[in-house]
Structure 1
């Protein structure tokens, strides 16, 4: 049985039908655009825009405008933006300012500079080792991290033996210096004085440098970095590499880099003369850090020459100064504001007493996980009469009595933080100490996980006088 055509059910329209039915106007539009673009002469100054700009509207944007748009996007979209097209890949590379090199050949080939022309922070340390990046063995240290091959574990010579030759590292520095004249921060290991000299000559804006496996001879290269402000020198790292930084290198450094503001000496040797040279020549020095130092006896008396020093740090030091000398020759740092001790050995009474004497002007003292800090050692801190902030963490030998003896002599104390000091007990807090707590502007009290400070101090009225400044944690 047949039905009339007008009674048949109409088929739903398809996108293909709509496209085919409107091809003529579209073709006319494309032809018109092509004619306009072809008729635009280069002499007229008009930009030739191909017809496929309708498919990619970003082609209508200039590189400068598209760079401004890409710079507003979050960093999490950097990788996805680079995969859109070659143009976006190149533009995204121009926005990168900081990078860590993993493949040294990528640097030597010149593609690195072409890909990232506007870098100001480059880390070359990870790429300076011949190690398989896909290895499941990853070794990390306080100053260095690297992947290891299982075959290297048999002789434990996995750092110096796997490091690139000095000549190769210097070649990489030459390429980097010629392609990144605006470099501001650099991390490098195993370079010679010639490689660093090329960086000093080409990168006049270099302000921050971390130099590992450093020696006295190498320091003659960075002495030409006249604008250097932040410097970290790593000389000897036990079990990884051995190099010596002595008074000779420190003197060369002091005479060349007179604008230093922050200096960190890790695994470095030296004595009174080297620190004195730094103090007298680097008059802008505000922060000085000693990490696992190997200084000779009597070096600490030279700290008094650092007249503008504001922060003094000791990290992982087995000793501060075994023989600091007579007290009248120690002097002090008049501008010092912060003394920071972390993971240091503080068992030597004479050494610790000399340290607090030199730092008697400190306003803030931080002691974190230091061994040997008992009541007798901590009592030497009484000489620091101007302390306003005290932070103690991991001081397991210090008791409540030892803490109270010192902080009662500090009339300007405003902030106290006591964390993980198991021999400081709530039950041993005296009424005088509780009253002192009420006058503090900031109090963090967690000497152990069972601390019951609020309930144990109800009878002495803590929380009434000055209670608005008390912070329960």
Structure 2
């Protein structure tokens, strides 16, 4: 009689059961093993276990209540190993991870590198540095303000954003009374400096010399400061930052702040921060002396940005002392230089490569011409939404004979004649971008300009919203003969029949 496959042919020989089979049949044994492993991990540390290893009592509720959470297997991992695992997760998961347990909350806080503080009490009580001991970047501007946060009115600018009330005083949103007292801010900076020695970037408002000195003393790795509503004497506090490389000073801002940074502050800054690489001055006063001091002392300065400057006439001549300056940016300036002086006394920046002008008033012929004289070595020229830039004023840019890239956007007064007279004088021009310049017409493209277009490496031509890709460009090689292999950037040119090759 054949044996059934379900029957054992030799009932005396029993199958030996493995450890997993025993654990699955006996849940109590599995719990004992896990608990044993936990006790062994505790016994290996300096703190002895609370119970002897030989005994493993389990309460009756542990064996009967299945709704209780299971054992915490992460308790077997060291803090260093668990920290490595949590660091592999995305930053968006740090908040949810910190809610798992107290241990995870502490470890997740060690992974946070950047914080924007809204509650000053969180810093003043010491909870901030305890919760996030490894902070590298912190913004405490909004926490330093006493403005109501439940007003429902959010004021945003390119420098700062905060809630404001329904009443305004002296045509300014932020008064001196709306800021915490400087002593409180300095005390908070002391707590922050002592608790976060790895700090690299600090954004603060209304700080004095004392508070900034504490940061310079306790945080040797600080490399970037952004100071709002700052004064001249407060800049003495950052003179001890030996590794400071990036600095942004926001002085007077119409409708927001009303602080003054003059030649005194610029001189203090120049003598104390000699390793500056990038400097941005917003709403700062000063003159030739302040810019000269920066150029002479800050030999490593490579980028200078002036936004809505209040500099006195003649400051342009001081740029020649910035021998290693590579990028100069002027943003929202109501004037370039009201009295630049004779051209032979201006000098030039020998290492300058980029000049950016954005939302600047360029109606002053002499000031614009002096700027191009000082920046005659530039290779990239960017003009965006500049008022008053007509053919005559733009013609002064022909002084810069090394330009390789020209970008123009929102220059509505410029015509094709003015553009042609300049670009044809630049023998090294390789890239051209013309966008939203409504007075430049496709029909006015001359044969000389068309020939220039054919050898450019990159060309983006969209002077107005009506410009479309012209079928007359097909087969002409515009945008390709210079070696540019990307997408054809030309958006419009309507060639007369005599110009089509």
The TM-score, its normalising length taken from structure 1, stands at 0.90
Show the counterpart of 2:350: 334
Deviation at 1:63, TM superposition (A): 1.4
Match of 1:191 among 207, 213, 237: 207
Show the counterpart of 1:351: 367
Q: CA 1:453–1:378 in structure 2 vs 1: closer, same or farther (change >3 Å)?
A: farther
Deviation at 1:34, TM superposition (A): 4.4
Show the counterpart of 1:373: 389
Show the counterpart of 2:444: 428
Show the counterpart of 1:26: 27
Deviation at 1:221, TM superposition (A): 1.1
Deviation at 1:82, TM superposition (A): 1.9
Contact 2:456 2:480 in 1 (8 A): no
| Structure 1 counterpart SS, 2:305 | strand
Match of 1:63 among 56, 79, 83: 79
Is residue 361 from structure 1 mapped to residue 362 from structure 2 by the alignment? no
Match of 1:158 among 173, 197, 202: 173
Is residue 289 from structure 1 mapped to residue 305 from structure 2 by the alignment? yes
Alignment of 1:197-346 (within 5 A): 197-346=213-362
Deviation at 1:36, TM superposition (A): 6.6
Q: In the aligned structure 1, how far is the partner of 2:274 from the partner of 2:84? A: 38
Q: Which region of structure 1 is more displaced relative to structure 2, 352-361 or 84-93?
A: 84-93
| Structure 2 counterpart SS, 1:352 | helix
Q: 1 or 2, which has the higher helix percentage?
A: 1
Which deviations, in whole Å up to 9, do the C-alpha atoms of 1:4-27 show, x marking residues without a partner? xxxxxxxxxxxxxxxxxx998222
| Structure 2 counterpart SS, 1:333 | coil
Deviation at 1:42, TM superposition (A): 4.3
Q: CA 1:468–1:322 in structure 2 vs 1: closer, same or farther (change >3 Å)?
A: closer
Show the counterpart of 2:90: 74
Q: Which region of structure 1 is more displaced relative to structure 2, 93-102 or 64-73?
A: 64-73
Q: CA 1:331–1:433 in structure 2 vs 1: closer, same or farther (change >3 Å)?
A: same
| Structure 2 counterpart SS, 1:445 | strand
Show the counterpart of 1:170: 186
Q: Which region of structure 1 is more displaced relative to structure 2, 344-353 or 223-232?
A: 223-232
Q: CA 1:382–1:187 in structure 2 vs 1: closer, same or farther (change >3 Å)?
A: same
Q: Which region of structure 1 is more displaced relative to structure 2, 31-40 or 336-345?
A: 31-40
Is residue 91 from structure 1 mapped to residue 107 from structure 2 by the alignment? yes
| RMSD of aligned residue pairs (Cα, Å) | 2.6
| Structure 2 counterpart SS, 1:215 | coil
Is residue 103 from structure 1 mapped to residue 119 from structure 2 by the alignment? yes
| Structure 1 counterpart SS, 2:406 | strand
| Structure 1 counterpart SS, 2:240 | coil
Q: CA 1:213–1:39 in structure 2 vs 1: closer, same or farther (change >3 Å)?
A: closer
Deviation at 1:446, TM superposition (A): 1.1
Structure 1 unaligned spans of 5+? 1-21
Q: CA 1:111–1:381 in structure 2 vs 1: closer, same or farther (change >3 Å)?
A: same
Show the counterpart of 1:12: none
Q: In the aligned structure 1, how far is the partner of 2:186 from the partner of 2:209? A: 9
Q: CA 1:40–1:217 in structure 2 vs 1: closer, same or farther (change >3 Å)?
A: closer
Show the counterpart of 1:471: 489
Structure 2 unaligned spans of 5+? 1-22, 51-55, 59-67, 492-501
Q: CA 1:26–1:315 in structure 2 vs 1: closer, same or farther (change >3 Å)?
A: same
Deviation at 1:64, TM superposition (A): 1.3
The TM-score, its normalising length taken from structure 2, stands at 0.85
Which deviations, in whole Å up to 9, do the C-alpha atoms of 1:150-181 show, x marking residues without a partner? 2x347655312321111111111011011111
Q: Which region of structure 1 is more displaced relative to structure 2, 71-80 or 103-112?
A: 71-80
Q: How many residues align?
A: 452
Which deviations, in whole Å up to 9, do the C-alpha atoms of 1:381-424 show, x marking residues without a partner? 00100001111011111111111110001111111111111111
Q: Which region of structure 1 is more displaced relative to structure 2, 387-396 or 53-62?
A: 53-62
Show the counterpart of 1:3: none
Q: CA 1:348–1:294 in structure 2 vs 1: closer, same or farther (change >3 Å)?
A: same
Q: In the aligned structure 1, how far is the partner of 2:37 from the partner of 2:369? A: 86
Q: In the aligned structure 2, how far is the partner of 1:41 from the partner of 1:79? A: 29
Q: CA 1:123–1:41 in structure 2 vs 1: closer, same or farther (change >3 Å)?
A: closer
Show the counterpart of 2:163: 147
| Structure 2 counterpart SS, 1:367 | strand
| Structure 1 counterpart SS, 2:249 | strand
Q: CA 1:278–1:48 in structure 2 vs 1: closer, same or farther (change >3 Å)?
A: same
Is residue 131 from structure 1 mapped to residue 131 from structure 2 by the alignment? no
Show the counterpart of 1:398: 414
Q: In the aligned structure 1, how far is the partner of 2:240 from the partner of 2:179? A: 26
Show the counterpart of 2:459: 443
